[in-house]
Every structure is written in C-alpha cells, then in structure tokens.
C-alpha cells in the first residue's frame, strides 16, 4: 500500500501519515521524489483499510501496489533513484564505471591497478578482499589486510571503493571500509545477509544470482530496502544458461524491462558476464547503448599472473580502450560519463 502525498504537502503532513502507519503497528517508508513524496507501508499481514489515510492532511491518493515488491517499484517512485557515492552519482542519466582487480592480491598489484583505472577515467575502484570461491583450495582473499590496502588505494587515487561482503560475520568490517558494499551473485538470496546489509548505511551493490529471475532479484533488493537502506544498485552479471562457450549469458535484454519495473540504478558486469577478455569491451559498448547506469569491469596489471579471474581481466591498456569506446557510445546516446572525483563531462 502506498500513500501518495500532494505536491504541496508539508513535512508535518508526511509526519502525520508516518505516525498513523506506526500507530497501526506497520513500518512506514517515506520516499521523496521529484514530483511528490509517497509513503510505502510494509509489515502489514493483510490489506490495509485506505480510509485510515484518505482524509489525513496532504494526502492525495491511497494506492495498492500491484507487484510483490513495493519499495523497489516504479509505482512507488516514478523518477530514477540517484545514489551519491562520495560525490559520484550512480543512476539518473550519468554513467559510472567501476573497475579494478577481481581480488586484492598485494599492495603493488592493487596500487598498480588502482592508479591505472583512475588514470583511464574509472569513477569507482573495485577489488575483493573476501572472495567467495567455488573451490575451498582457491585463493580466498587477503581479508582484513585486503580492506586495509583498499583504504590505502582510495587515499592514493581518491576513488571510492566497492568490495564484497561475503557473509554476515564480516559485513561490519567490510561496511566500515567500503563506500559501496557488494553482495555477490552466490549470496543474492542469503536473506540474513540482505537484512543485515539493509541495517547499515552504506549503499549496496546487489548482483543478480547465478540462476535468478528478475522477480527473485528484485525481491532480494526489497529485503535490503525493507530494513531501511534504500541505496541499492542492481548489477546484471550474467546468468547460467545452456550455452557453455561463455562463462555466463549476459542478459542485456533485461535492462529496458528493469527500467519499467524499478527506479533503482542498474549496472552491468561484462567480465563475469562473459568470462572472456576480448568480449568485455564489446559488451561494455552494448551496455552503454542499452541504457545501463554503469559498468563493473575487472582490470589486472598482469592478467596471466592473477590469482582469480585472469582470463576475463583486462590489461590497463585494454581498459583505456574500453573507456574511449564507452565515452563515444555515451556521447551518441546522450549519457554523461562520470569522471574520477564525480564531475561529469557534458554530453556532446
Ligand atoms: C566479483 O565481482 O568479485 C564476483 C565474485 O562476482 P559475482 O558475484 O558476480 O560472481
Ligand atoms: Mn572475479
């Protein structure tokens, strides 16, 4: 259920609606938008009687949300959500590139990758400190030491950091360091982790599960938002299909569909989406053209020596070429590519 406020509703009117929702024992989620504020009701076991709200001051309409997800839905918030990550806007007509190594391996490796991606024009640095690996014998990440190195790379380059929280146990250490907390594909339906991520203040980058439908993915985002953290970035990273020539099948066709369903920003990861280095730049161009809000790309100073995902990692030179192509396509479709530091270049 949604309580849509009039355009000229005051803060006191919104407060009155929130108090009414809470007095009924439910949770109120006020969502200010460009045109109006809507207050979403969750926690109600059955239908809520609209008459509770219809005659409160400032209320324009009381609407039932038709989708199972509410807070992620465009019905609640018609305008795009823009998430500010230390001055870098994600969503709403700008294009932000997140890049860096799959895993933080050493100080030299991370600083080389970080300075290279910053120089090429990435807006956010990625790097895993806690790595979810298929094999228990594979490199699991530098863990706390990896976080410390990410912090150093942030100070060195000025780029905000996105890094993965692998479990509830390490979430608070990750959230203390990260500017964006990543929840990986394998954890998309780790409901305890989603709830815990919803109870901390950093933006959450939620990757699509290995074999998840869009409805399941949006319900996972709803878990985070239902706990009060509305800063969720969706990341399409490919799904498992019958095709085995690529690591995953990058589902770019879902971008225009997601645009209609949700106000949340959506970025694309062509590295995990294909698993093939030479496919990353072509799919990045396609992601810009199809209307994504950004990219997540793996870059390694020496891919053959990478401790994880070398075959899909770009060299710094490859990444320079990728950024050049991204800028060209962005200009053609009227998107602004976010510069390091968050300043946007005018669309030409
Ligand atoms: C990653 O981005 O480091 C990662 C492990 O990706 P995914 O969760 O999409 O497999
Ligand atoms: Mn990887």
SS3 string, the chain, reads CEEEECCCCCHHHHHHHHHHHHHCCCEEEEEECCCCEEEEEECCCCCCCCHHHHCCCCEEEEECCCCCCCCCECCCCCCCCCEEECCEEECCCEEEEEEECCECCCHHHHHHHHHHHHHHCCCEEECECCCCCCCCCCCCCCCHHHHHHHHHHHHHHCCCEEEECCCHHHHHHHHHHCCEEEECHHHCCCHHHHHHHHCCCCCEEEECCCCCCHHHHHHHHHHHHHCCCCCEEEEECCECCCCCCCCCECCCCHHHHHHHHECCCEEECHHHHHCCHHHHHHHHHHHHHCCCCEEEEEECCCHHHCCCCHHHCECHHHHHHHHHHHHHHHHHHCCEEECCCCCECCCC
Q: Where are the domains of the chain?
A: 2-63, 83-345
Q: Return the CATH superfamily for domain 2-63.
A: Phospho-2-dehydro-3-deoxyheptonate aldolase; domain 1 (3.30.70.1140)
The CATH class, in words, for 83-345 is alpha beta
By alpha-carbon position, which residue is closest to atom 3 of ligand 1?
102
Q: Could you report the per-residue pLDDT of 131-185, keeping only the tens digit for each?
A: 999 999 999 999 999 999 999 999 999 999 999 999 999 999 999 999 999 999 9
Could you tell me the distance, in angstroms and rounded to a whole number, from the CA of residue 30 to the centre of ligand 2?
36
pTM over 0.85: yes
The fraction of the chain above a pLDDT of 70, given in percent, is: 98
Average pLDDT over residues 309-313: 98
pLDDT band at 345 (very low <50, low <70, confident <90, very high): low
CA of 309 to the centre of ligand 1 (A): 10
Identical fold, 2-63 and 83-345: no
Q: In percent, how much of the chain has pLDDT > 90?
A: 93
Q: How far is the CA of 184 from the centre of ligand 1 (A)?
A: 5
Mutational pocket test of ligand 1: of 132, 193, 208, 267, the residue with most ligand atoms within 8 Å of the beta carbon: 132
Pocket test for ligand 1, best of 269, 270, 306 (most atoms within 8 A of CB): 269
The pLDDT confidence band at residue 45, using thresholds 50, 70 and 90, is confident
Average pLDDT along the chain: 96
């Amino acid at each position: 259920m949604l309580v849509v406020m009039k355009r000229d509703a005051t803060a006191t009117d919104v407060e009155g609606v929130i108090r009414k929702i809470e007095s009924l024992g439910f949770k109120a989620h006020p969502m200010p938008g460009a045109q109006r504020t809507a207050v979403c009701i969750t926690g109600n076991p059955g239908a809520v009687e609209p008459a509770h709200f219809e005659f409160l001051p400032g209320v324009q309409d009381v609407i039932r949300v038709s989708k199972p997800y509410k807070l992620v839905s465009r019905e609640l918030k018609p305008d795009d959500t823009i998430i500010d990550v230390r001055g870098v806007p994600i969503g709403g007509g700008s294009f932000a590139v997140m890049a860096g190594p799959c895993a933080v391996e050493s100080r030299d490796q991370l600083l080389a990758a970080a300075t290279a991606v910053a120089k090429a024009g990435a807006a956010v640095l990625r790097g895993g400190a806690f790595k979810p690996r298929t094999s228990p014998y594979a490199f699991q990440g530098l863990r706390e030491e990896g976080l410390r190195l990410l912090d150093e790379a942030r100070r060195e380059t000025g780029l905000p950091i996105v890094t993965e929280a692998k479990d509830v146990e390490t979430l608070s250490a990750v959230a203390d360091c990260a500017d964006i907390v990543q929840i990986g594909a394998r954890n998309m339906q780790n409901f305890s982790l989603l709830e815990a991520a919803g109870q901390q203040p950093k933006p959450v980058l939620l990757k699509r599960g290995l074999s998840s439908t869009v409805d399941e993915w949006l319900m996972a985002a709803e878990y985070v938002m239902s706990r009060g953290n509305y800063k969720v970035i969706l990341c399409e990273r490919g799904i498992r299909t019958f095709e085995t020539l690529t690591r995953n099948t990058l589902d770019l066709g879902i971008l225009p569909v997601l645009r209609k369903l949700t106000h949340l920003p959506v970025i694309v990861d062509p590295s995990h989406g294909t698993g093939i280095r030479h496919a990353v730049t072509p799919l990045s161009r396609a992601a810009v053209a199809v209307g994504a809000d950004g990219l997540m790309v793996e870059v390694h100073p020496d891919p053959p020596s990478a401790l994880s995902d070398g075959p899909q990692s770009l060299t710094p030179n490859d990444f320079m070429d990728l950024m050049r192509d991204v800028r060209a396509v962005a200009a053609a479709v009227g998107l602004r590519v976010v510069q390091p530091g968050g300043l946007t270049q005018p669309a030409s």
